[in-house]
Structure 1
Amino acid sequence: MALSKEYNERLAGEKEGLMYRDPVGELIREHEKKGGFDHLRGRGKPLPKEYLQSDTFDTLLKRNGFVPSWVRLQREIREDLGQVLKQQADEALSDRRIKKEISKINKKVRRYNQLCPTPSLQRCLIEKESLHSQYERWR
């Protein structure tokens, strides 16, 4: 009895340590066997130290200007607090309006606390009475 071609391929894959079919991996291995990677610059040379010293993915993200959403929100909150303090000093806002602005900022603080990666980075809600000291903590 002859075994099916598919079964033989799967069996060969299991011998190579592959427990599932990986079409992309198969294409890469096939390209490598045909010498498709032989012309690449740096072939056979060690990787540059920068690839070994840090997380390449993180480096790539930073180089392209990626900022995590919780960091962007942190900056927004800092800017909003600064504006409220400035307007409060200029007496451009009534107490009622200041409370409304603080309420908007506190919504962002709650969202920030949900997004930040560790509880030690979470912040307290903003209160009108301690606006200056809380602004300093956000700087």
Structure 2
Amino acid sequence: MKESHFQEPYNDLMGDIIKKHAEEGGMDNLPGKGKPLSQDYFSGDTLQHFQRIAKDAGYKPHWLNLQQEIREDVLLLADCYEADITVDLEERLEEINKKVTKYNRSCPRPMQKGPVSLETIKNVLAKRGESL
């Protein structure tokens, strides 16, 4: 028996959504419509184009938001430690380290961070003392 060479049709979900949006008139009032693109969009690679357009549109990658959350959590924990509030210290460090793991999975490799420990909290407090 011969193998079937039947191939399922290609399903372009995003293309379909964009096409439907355009048909409904959603692309009619876009800023810059009908104007030539700047020469900046023709230089560099595709990733650079995406990053530039995303930045211009105000998009912030998830890992940057996560980085800010981790920073705020560490500073809050340092404040608690400085005030001698050590209840649930290990659990809070564990929660922060879960965020660090999630962050490391989504950020560029050179920006990955190590786990947060009590030593990290003490270093934050020491740096704070130096800047005062």
| TM category, shorter | 0.5 to 0.7
- How many Å separate the matches in 2 of 1:110 and 1:52? 37
Q: Which of these two proteins has the greater Rg computed from alpha carbons?
A: 1
Q: Secondary structure at the match of 1:67?
A: coil
Q: 1:127 to 1:86 in 2, by over 3 A?
A: same
Does residue 1:88 correspond to 2:81, yes or no?
yes
Q: 1:132 to 1:64 in 2, by over 3 A?
A: farther
5+ long unaligned stretches in structure 1? 1-23, 25-39
- CA drift at 1:70: 1.5
- CA drift at 1:41: 4.2
1:63 is matched with which residue? 56
CA deviations 1:44-76 (Å, max 9, x no partner) are xxx523323453322221122211112211111
- How many Å separate the matches in 1 of 2:42 and 2:122? 44
User: Contact (CA 8 Å) 2:75, 2:124: kept in 1 or not?
Assistant: no
TM-score under structure 1 normalisation?
Answer: 0.54
> Could you tell me which amino acid in structure 2 is paired with residue 127 of structure 1?
S
> Could you tell me which amino acid in structure 1 is paired with residue 102 of structure 2?
R
User: Contact (CA 8 Å) 1:126, 1:134: kept in 2 or not?
Assistant: no
- How many Å separate the matches in 2 of 1:41 and 1:102? 52
TM-score under structure 2 normalisation?
Answer: 0.56
- How many Å separate the matches in 2 of 1:80 and 1:111? 15
- CA drift at 1:134: 6.5
Does residue 1:49 correspond to 2:42, yes or no?
no
